[in-house]
């Protein structure tokens, strides 16, 4: 993309009403625009990151065998009357009535609807296990929408639902979600710690939240800091092997890590003093096992291998797709702007032309742009007639992890400059070597 033809409405002045850094930076970098309290338009740069995050979520769900579908945002109230949640959900639910005076609601979550789909089409244990998920906009009329996309009213969520013949199978699905979530967040450059949680209005016995440590997080967290060093890395985990999956979950949940909701002072006191940490965290996901809470009242039954009709065992599993943009920025920025992890960056590299209109510089930039594209890498080329300082400031603000700087002086020596946004370190090399280096870097971030 050439910046002269792009739509990147950066703001010079940080908006005064934005309280936390990710909200300020998303507004300044022209990623979002607020349309009403907690409701945002996603401007091109923000939308690009949102789609990157969505793509990673899809890939990691499909990797473990979960099946994407798409349910609507509007749901009939009658489904929620079956589970009893239409009255129970309260003021957070946005209720609407159509011209025929039928009650609808803008879905805050989808347990009822997915259970309805299941009961209509599945009747035998032979069709299990089954996990269906979608990535869809949700609406919750939060009493205090704030912090930009972190606590919106309309927000994008991945929500998935497992259906299993019994509790043991459903707990395997729970564990499989935990492992797939760990990989999902790692690919986004995040450390998200699974913490035992409280189930809230979803209901159920087993639940973990995934928290990204950040001072601006809304949850208070208590943890053994050795948990932050755990990494899934590139190891292969057979997602169909319950023991293998469970072993990973045990590795990631055996050290103490809880939110204030489930915090236990006595257990925390057992953590060696040097490792005992209290901090704050951003909830970027949650998994639940809730058994037959919905399948019983809604009549979602299967015939098991004994020929008995049994309510199916379920769980639900959510990732805050739009909140993740805020969480990533909270975890990765400096005083100059955002620093995108390679896995989610909107463009792989920025190209800054120090002397727009100089024949050699223009040609070299065009050459780099084409060579990167040929390797499947996207570049944002600042081809505006601005001074170098302004171009650098824009690149630093929007946070592309790598910048190529091209100017007549370097070109005379046969080099361009490759700069790492995170460390600020620069290296001079030939344009070909720079393209190869970037291809190598991104090979590790598919």
Give the pair of three-digit tokens for residue 431.
Answer: 């344009």
Where along the sequence are the contacts to Mg ion (CB under 5 A)?
286
Tell me which residues in 323-342 interact with ligand ATP (CB under 6 A): 323
Among 107, 152, 401, 410, binds ligand ATP (CB under 6 A): 152
Q: Which of residues 172-201 bind ligand ATP (CB under 6 A)?
A: 200
Span of 7-15, 126-134, 278-286, 426-434 interacting with ligand ATP by CB under 6 A: 278-286
**How far is residue 3's CA from residue 382's CA, in Å, rounded to a whole number?**
5
Query: Which of ligand ATP, Mg ion, none sits in contact with 151, Cβ below 5 to 8 A by type?
Result: ligand ATP
Q: Quick one: what does residue 152 bind among Mg ion, ligand ATP, none, with the CB cut-off 5 to 8 Å set by partner type?
A: ligand ATP
Angle, CA of 215, 183 and 246, to the nearest 5°: 105
- Cβ 121 to ligand ATP shortest distance, Å: 25
DSSP label at residue 188: T
- What is residue 263's DSSP assignment? -
Region near ligand ATP per CB under 6 A, out of 255-263, 318-326, 333-341, 429-437: 318-326
User: With respect to Mg ion, which residue has the nearer C-beta, 253 or 286?
Assistant: 286
DSSP 129: S
DSSP assignment letter at 217: -
Per-residue HEC secondary structure of 65-127 comes to CCEECCCCCEEEHHHHHHHCHHHHCHHHCEEEECCCCCEEEECCCCHHHHHHHHHHHCCEHHH
Contact 214, 330 (CB under 8 A): yes
Closer to ligand ATP by CB, 249 or 282: give it.
Answer: 282
Of 217, 285, 401, 431, which lies in the binding site for ligand ATP, with binding defined by CB under 6 A? Answer: 285
The residues in 200-239 that bind ligand ATP, with binding defined as CB under 6 A, are: 200
Question: Closest residue to Mg ion, Cβ-based?
Answer: 286
Alpha-carbon dihedral sign for residues 322, 314, 72, 127: positive
Among 46, 281, 320, 401, binds ligand ATP (CB under 6 A): 320
- As measured in angstroms, the least distance from the Cβ of 70 to ligand ATP is 17
* Residue 431 touches which member of ligand ATP, Mg ion, none, C-beta under 5-8 Å by kind: none
Cis ω for the linkage preceding 263 (within 30 of 0): no
Q: What whole-number distance in Å separates Cα of residue 381 and Cα of residue 5?
A: 10
Q: Decide: 220 and 280 in contact? Cβ < 8 Å.
A: yes
Helices 167-187, 44-63: inter-axial angle, 10-degree rounding: 140
Q: Is 429 exposed, middle or buried (0-12, 13-18, 19+ CB in 10 A)?
A: middle
Residue 286 touching ligand ATP (CB under 6 A): yes
* Residue of 157, 182, 331, 352 that binds ligand ATP (CB under 6 A): 157
Residue 283 as a binder of ligand ATP (CB under 6 A): the answer is: yes
Q: N- to C-terminal Cα distance for the chain? A: 20
- The interface with ligand ATP within residues 385-424 (CB under 6 A) comprises none
Q: Does 110 bind ligand ATP (CB under 6 A)?
A: no
Question: d(Cα 353, Cα 365) in Å, to the nearest integer?
Answer: 7
Instruction: Count CB atoms within 10 A of the CB of residue 37.
Output: 12
Taking CB under 6 A as the rule, does residue 148 contact ligand ATP?
Answer: no
For ligand ATP, the closer CB: 271 or 327: 327
From the list Mg ion, ligand ATP, none, pick the one residue 107 interacts with, judged by a Cβ distance below 5 to 8 Å according to partner type.
none
CA–CA gap between residue 331 and residue 245 (Å, rounded): 28
The CB-of-290 to ligand ATP minimum distance in angstroms stands at 12
State yes or no: residue 142 binds ligand ATP (CB under 6 A).
yes
Instruction: Please work out the total of residues on this chain that contact ligand ATP, with binding judged by CB under 6 A.
Output: 16
- Name which of 286 and 332 has its Cβ closer to ligand ATP: 286
Q: Return the structure tokens found at 197.
A: 């949680």
Where on the chain is the footprint of ligand ATP (CB under 6 A)?
109, 140, 142, 151-152, 155, 157, 200, 283-286, 318, 320, 322-323
């Amino acid at each position: 993309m050439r910046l002269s033809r792009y739509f990147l409405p950066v703001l010079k002045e940080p908006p005064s009403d934005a309280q936390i850094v990710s909200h300020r930076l998303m507004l300044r970098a022209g990623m979002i625009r607020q349309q009403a309290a907690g409701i945002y338009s996603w401007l091109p740069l923000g939308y690009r990151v949102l789609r990157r995050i969505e793509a990673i979520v899809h890939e990691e769900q499909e990797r473990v065998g979960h099946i994407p579908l798409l349910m609507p945002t509007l749901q009939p109230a009658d489904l929620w009357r079956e589970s009893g949640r239409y009255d129970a959900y309260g003021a957070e639910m946005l209720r609407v009535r159509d011209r025929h005076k039928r009650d609808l609601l803008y879905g805050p979550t989808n347990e009822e609807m997915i259970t309805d789909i299941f009961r209509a089409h599945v009747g035998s244990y032979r069709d299990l296990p089954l996990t269906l998920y979608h990535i869809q906009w949700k609406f919750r009329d939060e009493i205090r929408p704030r912090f930009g996309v972190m606590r919106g009213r309309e927000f994008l969520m991945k929500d998935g639902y497992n259906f299993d013949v019994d509790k043991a199978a459903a707990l395997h699905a729970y564990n499989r979600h935990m492992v797939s979530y760990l990989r999902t967040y790692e690919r986004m450059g995040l450390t998200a710690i699974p913490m035992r949680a409280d189930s809230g209005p979803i209901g159920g016995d087993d639940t973990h939240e995934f928290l990204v440590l950040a001072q601006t997080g809304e949850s208070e967290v208590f943890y053994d800091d050795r948990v932050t060093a755990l990494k899934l890395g590139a190891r292969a985990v057979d997602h169909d092997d319950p023991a293998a999956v469970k072993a990973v979950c045990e590795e990631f949940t055996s050290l103490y890590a809880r939110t204030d909701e489930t915090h236990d002072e006595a257990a925390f006191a057992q953590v060696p003093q040097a490792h005992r940490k209290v901090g704050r965290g951003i909830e970027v996901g949650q998994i639940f096992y809730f058994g037959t809470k919905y399948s019983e009242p809604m009549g979602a039954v299967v015939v098991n291998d004994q020929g008995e009709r049994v309510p199916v065992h379920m769980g639900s599993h959510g990732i805050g797709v739009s909140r993740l943009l805020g969480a990533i920025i909270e975890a990765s920025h400096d005083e100059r702007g955002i620093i995108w992890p390679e896995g989610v960056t909107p463009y792989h590299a920025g190209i800054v032309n120090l002397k727009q209109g100089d024949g050699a510089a223009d040609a070299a930039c065009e050459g780099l742009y084409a060579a990167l594209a040929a390797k499947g890498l996207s570049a944002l080329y600042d081809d505006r007639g601005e001074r170098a300082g302004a171009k650098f400031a824009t690149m630093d603000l929007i946070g592309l992890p790598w910048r190529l700087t091209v100017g007549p002086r370097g070109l005379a020596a046969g080099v361009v400059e490759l700069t790492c946004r995170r460390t600020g370190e620069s290296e001079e090399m030939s344009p070909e070597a720079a393209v190869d280096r970037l291809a190598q870097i991104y090979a590790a971030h598919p």
